[in-house]
Amino acid sequence: MWPRMDASPLDDPWIAAQVDAAVAPYVGRLPAEEVAWMREQLAEVLLHDEEAIRLLRRAQPREVDESGERAFGVLGAAGRAKAG
């Protein structure tokens, strides 16, 4: 199944783990609301920053369906968001 149109990259556990690692130094040092906001902004980076999109495409472990033609995960949503 493809992700919903309103899917966030953070819905993907692997991506959420990368984002959580990036904000880890600020957890407990910034208000939780600001840390949550930073996570959302990193998700924006993954959707709109060309370098981040390129690296994510190459770094993210993929699952493919039986035909081997379709990658699951957030990449479809990222591509659609960028095209939109």
Q: Give contact residues for other proteins (rule: CB under 8 A).
A: 18-19, 21-26, 28-31, 34, 37-38, 41-42, 44-46, 49, 51-52, 55-56, 58-61
Closer residue to other proteins (CB): 1 or 13: 13
Q: How far is CA 63 from the centre of its chain?
A: 15
- Least Cβ distance, residue 67 to other proteins (angstroms): 22
Closer residue to other proteins (CB): 61 or 68: 61
